[in-house]
Amino acid sequence: MCPRNVYFLGSALIVLLAALGPFTVSAQTHMRVTPSIRVSQEYESNVLYRKNNEQSDLITRVVPKLRLDLEGDRGHARVWGRLDSRMYQDVTDLDAVDQFFGWDVDQRLSPRFSVYSEGRLAYVEHLDPVEEGFGDGRPDQRRLQAQAGLRYALTPASSLSASFGYLELDFSFADIEPANGRRDSESRWGALSYVRNLSPRDQILASLSYQETDFSSVGSGLVGLASETDETLAGSIGWSRAWSPAWTTRFTAGLRRLESETEAADDRTLGLVGGVELTRTFERGSLSLSYERESRPSSGLGSTLDTDNFEASYRAQLSERLSLKILGEYDHYRSATESRLETPLGSITIDDEIDTTTLTASVRLDWRIRKRLFTFVSYRYRDQSSDGVRPVGEYYSHRVMLGFQYAYPIGPN
């Protein structure tokens, strides 16, 4: 077994023990184990994600998964592991096996007080370049994300919660030129939120969060990015309302302050965050329209990443066995970047800007053949363009997928 797999399995065992630690097993606890497998054949029109000289290929994907569920009178615990194997017919250099492990634990300690923990550990090869709008290169990535928190019911209509989290991003090549790479990073954050039900239809939310992110240095030669520490302070308020059994809305608005500190400079920015969502529920489906605005530290080149996301989705149960899902998404990423040029007279800061837009449209049909056997077919179109000073990751692609999934739960329902 290679050292990478040893590291992954060891880390997965550690987080498994940490995740199940708060969960109390009693005589009322029920356990279920669910092995499953998904097999699909895909056609991708642009497997290298290039603007020119596109190359298409057929991809065989095999995804085995194992999930453990514990359900008790005071909460639940779910732990799962998954392998994602991709085999390319022509571009065999892209063959990969991604590894994922996750958990979700929620435990009620008293009628008013509860704790929870959730997280994910992943090793991903050939990262999809749509991530954060940066498209040069397809780096390997190791990602560890964990979060824990507590909730306390102040009154029957209000509650207070606190959460703490950690995120680590580790890319396999940190010594390449910054124009094609990303920086390793570690993030720690804490958040405090208050929720109150004003009526059976109205709910308000107020939240305050703090995050600190450390970026490693990257690059060599004349141009590079020094190590950096970003501190983010954000506050927001929100309101959700059920206008009728069929119509619901959600609004959030707030401010986010980001301070970036390097050896050469200290920069502060203030941005708007928030979103709006409209949901319409039908007898056998739902329609959702949403917009989200966010400003955050980036694992790519820029210290600040502003994102605008528009999304429209429609889900319908066409019959007892047939379901449909249609999704449209528009993402706009903007990042102001800096690089340093060392000269005999000192360090010169060079400003750069990346302005990237990604459009994604997909449709999927699922058909239940038997109680535990499903088949599906899907189509996805994606177009990524750049209007910044330096174009980054411009490409478009079509993907068609046909496959099936089989799951066999062992234990009580």
Render pLDDT for 286-339 as a digit per residue (tens, 0 to 9).
999 999 998 766 554 445 678 899 999 999 999 999 999 999 999 998 876 555
> Does some domain include residue 388?
yes
List the one residue out of 367, 314, 334 whose CA is nearest residue 133: 334
> Roughly how many angstroms between the first and final C-alpha of the chain, as a whole number?
37
Residue 192 lies in a domain: no
- CA atoms lying within 13 Å on the CB side of residue 170: 10
Give the closest residue to 96 by CA, choosing from 121, 63, 119: 63
Does a structural domain hold residue 196?
Answer: no
318, part of any domain: yes
How far CA 126 is from CA of 23, 85, 136, 138, 322, in Å, comes to: 36, 12, 11, 5, 33
pLDDT at 262: 64
**Residues 251-255: what's their mean pLDDT?**
95
Domain count, the chain: 2
Q: What's phi and psi for 103, nearest 5 deg? A: -150, 160
User: In terms of domains, do 371 and 338 share one?
Assistant: no
Average pLDDT for residues 76-87, to the nearest whole number? Answer: 93
Is 359 a domain residue?
A: no
* Shared domain check, 207 and 315: yes
45 and 173 in one domain?
Answer: yes
* 347 and 376 together in one domain: no
Q: Are residues 247 and 127 part of one domain?
A: no
What pLDDT is stored for residue 134 in this prediction?
Answer: 41
Q: What is the domain range of residue 323?
A: 203-212+223-352
- Considering the domain architecture, whether residues 172 and 248 belong to the same structural domain is answered as no
> Do 322 and 396 fall within a single domain?
no
Distance separating alpha carbons of residues 373 and 43, to the nearest angstrom: 23
pLDDT at 96 over 50: yes
In a domain, 287, yes or no: yes
- On whether both 71 and 161 belong to a single domain, the answer is yes
In this structure, the answer to whether residues 263 and 165 fall within a common structural domain is no
SS3 24: coil
Listed range (118-127, 282-291, 403-412) with the worst mean pLDDT: 118-127
State the chain's mean pLDDT as an integer.
82
Co-location of 54 and 160 in the same domain: yes
User: Which of 300, 328, 352 is the last residue in one of the domains?
Assistant: 352
* Residues 330 and 381 reside in one and the same domain: no
Chain segment 31-49, per-residue pLDDT in tens: 899 999 999 999 999 988 8
pLDDT recorded at residue 22: 53
Let me know if residue 277 belongs to a domain.
yes
Highest mean pLDDT pick, 165-174, 210-219, 263-272, 400-409: 400-409
Q: pTM of the entire structure?
A: 0.80
- Is position 69 within any domain? yes
Contact indicator for 172, 137 with CB cutoff of 8 Å: no
Residues 171 and 235 grouped into a single domain: no
- The β-bridge partners of 276 are 251, 291
What pLDDT score was predicted for residue 264? 54
